[in-house]
Structure 1
Amino acid sequence: MQTTDRTTVTAVLDLLADAWGRGDADAYGAHFTEDATYVTFVGTKYSGRDDIAGSHRVLFGKFLKGTKLAHEVLDVRFLGADVAVVTSRGDTYTGAAPKKLSKVQTYTLVRDGGRWLVAAFQNTQRKPLLERVSFAFAPETKPKQ
């Protein structure tokens, strides 16, 4: 893995956060492939750049108006020269950035004409209490890292 590839791939998350913070659905959608898959933490699935941008246009005007996007990259794996999987923690917020990010996210990015774009996104709301209960009754299920 080239350090520059990792930097370029993770910079896409910064660009997404910047577009989100400006409430710019078109700029946000521009970082996805034409046929991208986008799954929200409530389980809603959007298909394609236009669907992603269109839904965010409404969300930025209503439920997510004035919010910002925080993220922390946990892992980057390259599955070839033109495919990367990024695992992160993330959250939306207003005011000060949260100290603990409540969602775990997976991005699959592809290099398209020299530019990295998100081909698939999965967002999962963490349930720390349920995790603790599961680990208490089945400690062998606790992740090693």
Structure 2
Amino acid sequence: MTDIIEPQDAPHAFQAAWNAHDMYALGALFHEDATFVNRFGHYVRGADEIVKLHAPIHATIYSDSTLDNTLIDVVAIGDDAAIVHFWSRLSSGVAHPAGPHAVDTLILAVLTRHRNAWRFKALENVTLTNPRTGEPVLRDRS
């Protein structure tokens, strides 16, 4: 498992757990009472619920998916809390019913220090879309 030693490590730790399809490692990145909102607006509370939300899709449609996360910024809100924004490109493979495709999202996360590491307290994931059509769009990565 990849620990979050500093808040700026959060995007990589999330990416590593996702790309390993290790939902227990993903759950371990969250506080027990953390909240999670996926890109479809599904809200869950608790690390166990976050694992339950992700395990079935990693066993099926996202079994061959990968994430590529890029840190945008870290805003400290005290010695033991930070807000982290990062881009996330989800690349689905042939296991997805729509076939291989990519989706870009913007993630807003609140992290707090837990002993010598940081954990997600809240995470919200928003799909980038064209506001006129509602169609997903990919961000310019340059």
The aligned residue for residue 115 of structure 1 is 117
User: Offset of 1:16 from its aligned partner?
Assistant: 1.5
> Within 2, Cα distance between the matches of 1:102 and 1:38?
17
- Whether the 8 Å CA contact 1:108–1:118 is kept in 2: the answer is yes
TM-score of the aligned structures, taking structure 1 as reference length: 0.77
Gap runs ≥5 in structure 2? 94-101, 133-142
Say which SS state the counterpart of residue 51 (structure 1) adopts: helix
> Within 2, Cα distance between the matches of 1:101 and 1:52?
20
Q: Which is richer in helix?
A: 1
The aligned residue for residue 136 of structure 1 is none
Task: Give the number of aligned pairs.
Answer: 122
Residues 23-38 of structure 1 correspond to what in structure 2 (within 5 A)? 23-38=21-36
Q: Deviations over 1:87-132 (max 9, x none)?
A: 111121147xxxx9621110100001121000000001112x327x
TM-score of the aligned structures, taking structure 2 as reference length: 0.78
The aligned residue for residue 71 of structure 1 is 69
- Whether the 8 Å CA contact 1:19–1:25 is kept in 2: the answer is yes
Say which SS state the counterpart of residue 39 (structure 2) adopts: coil
Identity among equivalent positions (%) equals 25
Say which SS state the counterpart of residue 57 (structure 2) adopts: helix
Q: 1:19 and 2:17 equivalent?
A: yes
User: Offset of 1:63 from its aligned partner?
Assistant: 2.0
> Within 1, Cα distance between the matches of 2:57 and 2:118?
25
Residues 36-47 of structure 1 correspond to what in structure 2 (within 5 A)? 36-47=34-45
Q: Deviations over 1:14-46 (max 9, x none)?
A: 121111111100001100000000001111011
Detail structure 1 runs of 4+ shifted over 2 Å in the superposition.
Answer: none
For the pair shown, which has the larger CA radius of gyration, 1 or 2? 1
> Within 2, Cα distance between the matches of 1:10 and 1:104?
15
User: Offset of 1:12 from its aligned partner?
Assistant: 2.5
- Whether the 8 Å CA contact 2:103–2:127 is kept in 1: the answer is no
Moved more, 35-44 or 52-61: 52-61
